[in-house]
Amino acid sequence: MGQPLLSFLALIVTLGVLITVHEFGHFWVARRCGVRVLRFSVGFGRPLWRRLGRDGVEYVIGAIPLGGYVRMLDGREGEVPAGSEAQAFDRQPVARRFAIVAAGPLFNFIFAILAYCVLFSSGVPQVRPVLSAPPAGTAAAVAGFQEGDEVVSIDGEGAGSLDLVLMRLAELAKPGGTLEIRVRDQYGQPANRSLALPEDFAANGDMLSTLGLLPYRPRLPAVIGGLIAEGAGAAAGLQVGDRVVSVDGERIGDWEQWAARVRAHPGQAMQVTVEHDDVARTLTLIPAVRDTPRGKEGLAGVHAAVPQDLADSLRVVVRYGPFEAAAAAVTKTWEMSAFTLRMLGRMLVGEASLDNLSGPLTIAQMAGQSAAVGWSAFLSFLALVSISLGVLNLLPVPVLDGGHLAWYCVEMVKGSPVSEAVQGVGQRIGLALLLALMGLAFYNDLARLLGP
């Protein structure tokens, strides 16, 4: 299956599952509060499928899978039949309305907890945070980091995997600040490193390379172990198992030498000689161009072949028993929710780059990549997106669930509903903010897709 098709299908599954979970939360709690549900829709626009259930609810799948809704009997949206007033949403006590609206995001968090329970019970592979020697002049080099250092904690917060290192840096790092990083050196001895951050530091996808905290890269033969479907290497005709012999007539000794040559030739044609089953052939490779803190670099879209024993030594599998998995899942969901909220706050005050915002194109790409890796990676991705969906919907922005909850909080305090005029103004402001946010996310998607 081609990567674009896989990404599209993975996006549809992601949106379908998470929207259904979210809307089912509203639906389930509304029914238990005695509210009559008229329609349960996943997607908007022209119905592709509809069915009238025995419970009187119309179930619909819409043509545009970018959302969904639960339509309830409501006097603000139409006439309520005589005798059905007690089943109307707007006639419910404020506490019930609050519970119905809050149930959508809550079910997203519950889904994430269940997903992490499955993952922690079955075992989650993680990359150990072992570092290479930092490039000269970087913050990591100045702090005294050495090849083989394994990160243990950052400012006292545990960081036992590369993913956790990235999360802690994004969460704790501030421009011009200092991070206290505890490591275990290549001899197993504990050590402390004080990492001074540059004044222009930005929490983004290039954090590690900007600081010089590069993941450990063992000396590997220049053998192609994998290719990105639409990368420059695949376009040039490279194949899995090819051993790079020379580039422009210069012998290549290992993978790092090959990678350095590619990085140094962004957008420039290179004559690459490879061997496969003792048969040599020469190809023309034109590396893609990407912007980095160090300037433009070439990108071939290929991965090294890593011996299994070496890969195992750099990997740790996190596995728990049933009760431990449940506790770890709740903790993980809480940590990721808090992290998402803090990152949104940092973007709001300018401490983190707005480039971190992602729209449907990036989500589709990430969904496809995680699905290609395997079910555990895809389930982890679903959990992460579900948490993001839950957090975003709880923001006190009119139009979102959090906006409605804010109105209900005001109603609880003042004893009467917020006027429709005020709510109308809030809806227009909220819609404008939401459209601006979606526009920025889509712009970031296009910037990543089209490149420089």
Output 103 or 448, whichever has higher pLDDT.
Answer: 103
Across residues 228-251, what is the average pLDDT? Answer: 90
Right CATH for 224-306 from 1.20.1250.20, 2.30.42.10, 3.40.50.360, 3.30.70.100 = 2.30.42.10
Across residues 399-427, what is the average pLDDT? Answer: 88
Catalytic residues, by residue number, are: 23
Q: What is the CA radius of gyration of the chain?
A: 26
How many residues does this entry show for the chain? 452
What share of residues in the chain are helix, strand, coil (percent, to 5)? 50, 25, 30
- Cβ neighbour number for residue 253 with a 10 Å cutoff: 11
The percentage of the chain sitting over the pLDDT mark of 70, rounded to a whole number, equals: 94
User: pTM for the whole thing?
Assistant: 0.70
pLDDT at 171: 80
Nearest residue to 400 (alpha-carbon basis) of 354, 435, 449, 434:
434
Region(s) of the chain under CATH 2.30.42.10: 139-211, 224-306
pLDDT at 448: 63
Output 148 or 171, whichever has higher pLDDT.
Answer: 148
Computed over every residue of the chain, the mean pLDDT equals 86
pLDDT at 353: 66
CATH topology of domain 139-211: Pdz3 Domain (2.30.42)
Output 311 or 25, whichever has higher pLDDT.
Answer: 25
- Cβ neighbour number for residue 434 with a 10 Å cutoff: 17
**Residue corresponding to tokens 């809806």:** 427
Give CA–CA dist 136/153, Å, rounded: 23
